Amino acid sequence: MSSSAPRRSKKSLPKTSSAEENPTVLPSRRGDLNSQLLMDAVPDAILVVNRAGKIVVASKQAKELFGCGREELIGRPVESLIPPRLRDRHRQHREKFFDDMRVRPMGSTHIELLALREDGTELPVDIALTPYTNEAGTFVVSVIRDATARRHTEETILRETRESEERFGLIADTAPVLIWMSDAHKLCTYFNKLWLDFTGRSMAEELGNGWAEGVHPEDLRRCMDTYTQAFDRREKFRMEYRLRRRDGEYRWVLDIGVPRFDQGHAFVGYIGIGIDVTDRRRAEEALASQSHRLIEVQERERTRIARELHDDTNQRLAMLVLSIEQLKNDLPQQTGELRSRVDDLKRHTLEISKDIQALAHELHSPKLEYLGIVAAMKGFCQEFAEQQEVTVAFTTGDLPSPLSPDISVCLFRVLQEALHNAAKHSGVRHFEVRLWETADDVHLTVSDAGAGFDLEAARKGRGLGLMSMRERVKVLQGELSIESQPKLGTKVQLHVPLSTKADSTYPAR
């Protein structure tokens, strides 16, 4: 089947295929519609420019972007689509690109790019450049995207961010607390007005690690260790340290820091608040001092009563036993019933004497005074086991350093209270006591596997045992914890620092 369409003569084709001589020549064979269709399918405008800076190909979207037809674009200098004030700079960049032909992805440059529409208006654009070479020469393919929406979004986000920062700054500067922020590298990036007013230093002086210059030298290492360890674990932290005020006085600050994360859940640093707690600390120290003095008085009174019981009452009972014995000896042998009643009287008197002696030892332990805490605890556990008809397993580690009197008394009193409570409420007959020392603290645990109890109910009760134990430990800056649940047993644990600020003014033991 023949076609009646006349064949086009080869003479109708241009005699040259050089795109640099004839800017209307495409950078591929004329009639190759596939390339044009492909460019028209791309949502961005595409221009193909030769080395001379002339446009040789324009996509359909170029008309929508620049406001002129494809035929009007082909053959024009590409600089005609650039605002006049930027044309020389664009020409220089274009020439450099042809000297160094590399793909330039969209967004790879931070230079503000503007295009000129046919009606004279300017619009922001993003441009990607790709070199292209074929038999017709070397070209640059420019993919151009209208950046108006993106720029508007960025400006909106920037404006909202700036407004948010201004609101935060306003709130932070009017808040009655010290506020700081740090970045992901542990360096502080912000301090509110109250912080700067408190320290009397400028923002520049406090930024980074400058704020640490105001921390008391005795607190600095502990402060930085707490901050660094929490930072590495991305955990909330809470610490107290002394910070120098603008008048030179060091004030106690309670500092609470929490990690910050962006919308993508990436860690970006910390934000923290500081509260001046100097007055609270002074009140606590005054209360602790008063408690310490009350405990002193209590211990002195215990010692006085114990000595009176031992040296007076018990001695008088001993004399009474001797008198009873003498009375028995003076009775005739025939009065057997009367002699038996005298024996009972003597036995009861000895039991009273023994109970008074045990009470005196509980009030004031001679072993604690002369032999130390280990011997005193071991002796008390043995005496308690005999009196209560229970077993007490006492174990101790090495205690290389002698304990101060106040620490020894604290440990001994907590042991007494804990064992009496356990024997009274646990319902079991076996208890375990453990005493040991670490580098900085001395530890004591008293435990049983008995009935346990409700801690909250015990705190609300009228008993003074738990309160007394906690107060004694608190005075020495120690910690007391009680683990107990109904039917799961009880464990009393305490640790006291070997060096405390409490005055060792208890009477000598």
**Which portions of the chain are predicted below pLDDT 70?**
1-34, 107-110, 161, 165, 288-289, 291-292, 295, 297, 299, 306, 310, 334, 400-401, 457-465, 500-509
Residue 223, CA distances (Å) to 131, 189, 226, 446, 496 in order: 58, 18, 5, 33, 21
336-363 helix and 278-308 helix, angle to the nearest 10 degrees? 160
Specify the pLDDT at position 292: 66
The beta strand positions in 101-147, using DSSP E, are 114-116, 122-134, 137-146
Q: Are 204 and 188 in contact (CB under 8 A)?
A: no
Distance CA 469, CA 67 (A): 88
- The model's pTM: 0.46
Distance CA 142, CA 394 (A): 87
Q: Who's near 161: CB < 8 A, 6+ residues apart? A: none
Residues 231-242: pLDDT tens digits? 999 999 999 999
Tokens of 302: 């215990």
What's the one-letter identity of residue 218?
A: E
Tokens of 49: 């420019």
Tokens of 195: 């912080």
Four-residue CA torsion sign, 456, 477, 413, 464: negative
Distance CA 228, CA 238 (A): 12
Specify the pLDDT at position 5: 39
278-308 helix and 465-475 helix, angle to the nearest 10 degrees? 120
Distance CA 278, CA 301 (A): 34
Q: Who's near 14: CB < 8 A, 6+ residues apart? A: 22, 25
Burial category of 504 from C-beta neighbours within 10 Å (exposed 0-12, middle 13-18, buried 19 and up): exposed
